[in-house]
Amino acid sequence: MPDQHGSYQPFELTRRHITDDGEAMAAMCADGLGVAQLPHFLARQGLQSGALVSLYPYYRPPQPDNGVFAIYAKRDYLPARVRVFIEFISSALEAAGESSNHTWAENWPALITFSG
């Protein structure tokens, strides 16, 4: 959890419910059963409807190669269907306010903020 300076510190919560299903985790949070760090694509609908709230400002671990990537076999020529699919996914992400390294969630208001 973030400290008063906005630096993230480890914090272990007592658990009553455990799941490895992100959609179930979002539903449990919306039902008031706890807190979770959810991927923004699973939290979007709940945040927009008000069923979920963002407690802390958006956080992405500092990794130089953090982003969205298309991985395919190396070839001299990229097959047309692969190129078309990559263009489709890129357009769909952009239409949703996303890019390979940025998301709409970066600007979502949080209940707890830190002054720098």
The helix/strand/coil state of 8 is strand
What does the pLDDT read at residue 6? 67
- Reading the block at residue 111, the tokens are 């209940």
Residue 49 reports pLDDT greater than 90: yes
Per-residue pLDDT band for 2 (boundaries 50, 70, 90) equals low
How many other CB atoms are there within 10 angstroms of residue 97's CB atom?
A: 13
What does the pLDDT read at residue 51? 94
Q: In the chain, where are the structural domains located?
A: 1-62+108-116, 67-100
- Give the whole-angstrom CA distance, residue 68 versus residue 63: 13
Instruction: State pLDDT tens for residues 56-89.
Output: 777 766 666 667 778 888 888 888 998 999 899 8
Residue 47 reports pLDDT greater than 60: yes
Helix, strand counts (H, E) of the chain = 3, 0
